[in-house]
């Protein structure tokens, strides 16, 4: 369970400030539309900066992807949000991603939502057409 202090910090921070700091420090790999499952997914809300597992459809390898929500600080089960995504293991996914590609994100074995890539920012990841 996330402490109330963390929710207060997220509420009080400017969304623009949160997004700018994270983008500057980490650099994003792509922008995606995320759909959090209303049933069978997370039981509670998620803060911007959350890092679930990601599974792309072309590979069984799991990676971790940091989600920085655009124009929101907190997302609840059943919500849809646009987010900047920064994945680890970018070398493994070199030239493998494409705009429109869908993927799942999970906590362990439990799938908690799906994402669809709308813009690839890290061109090293973009699949050659």
DSSP readout, 34-87? Answer: EEE-SSSS-SS-EETTB--EEE-TT-S-EEEEEEEESS-SEE-TT-EEEEEEEE
Residue 7 phi, psi dihedral angles, 5° rounding: -65, -40
Cα distances from 28 to residues 84, 101, 111, 113, 114, in angstroms, run 6, 17, 23, 20, 18
What SS3 state is found at 6?
helix
Pseudo-torsion of CA 34, 40, 46, 49, nearest 10°? Answer: -50
* DSSP code of residue 97: B
Supply angle C-alpha 39, 86, 59, rounded to 5.
70
Interval 1-23 mean pLDDT? 55
Instruction: Provide the pLDDT for residue 27.
Output: 79
- The stretch 93-101 carries a mean pLDDT of 95
The pLDDT tens digits of the residues spanning 38-85 come to: 988 888 999 999 999 999 999 989 999 999 999 999 999 999 999 999
pLDDT reading at 4 higher than 90: no
Phi/psi for 75 (5° steps) reads -125, 140
Average pLDDT, the chain: 85
Provide the pLDDT confidence category of residue 11 given band limits of 50, 70 and 90: low
Question: Mean of the pLDDT values across residues 107-128?
Answer: 93
pLDDT greater than 80 at residue 16: no
pLDDT band of 25, cuts 50, 70, 90? very low
Given this model, what pLDDT does residue 115 score? 97
Phi, psi of 109 (to 5 degrees): -80, -15
Question: What's the token pair of residue 16?
Answer: 């623009």
- What does pTM read for this prediction? 0.78
User: Could you tell me the domains of the chain?
Assistant: 4-120 (2.40.30.10)
- Average pLDDT (112-123) is 95
């Amino acid at each position: 369970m996330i402490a109330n202090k963390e929710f207060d910090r997220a509420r009080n921070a400017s969304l623009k400030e949160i997004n700018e700091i994270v983008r500057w420090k980490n650099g994003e790999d792509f922008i995606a539309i995320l759909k959090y499952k209303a049933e069978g997914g997370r039981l509670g809300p998620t803060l911007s900066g959350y890092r679930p597992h990601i599974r792309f459809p072309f590979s069984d390898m799991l990676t971790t992807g940091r989600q920085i929500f655009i124009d929101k600080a907190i997302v609840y089960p059943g919500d849809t949000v646009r987010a900047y995504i920064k994945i680890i293991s970018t070398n493994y996914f070199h030239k493998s991603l494409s705009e429109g590609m869908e993927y799942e994100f999970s906590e362990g074995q439990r799938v908690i939502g799906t994402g669809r890539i709308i813009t690839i920012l890290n061109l090293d990841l973009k699949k050659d057409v």
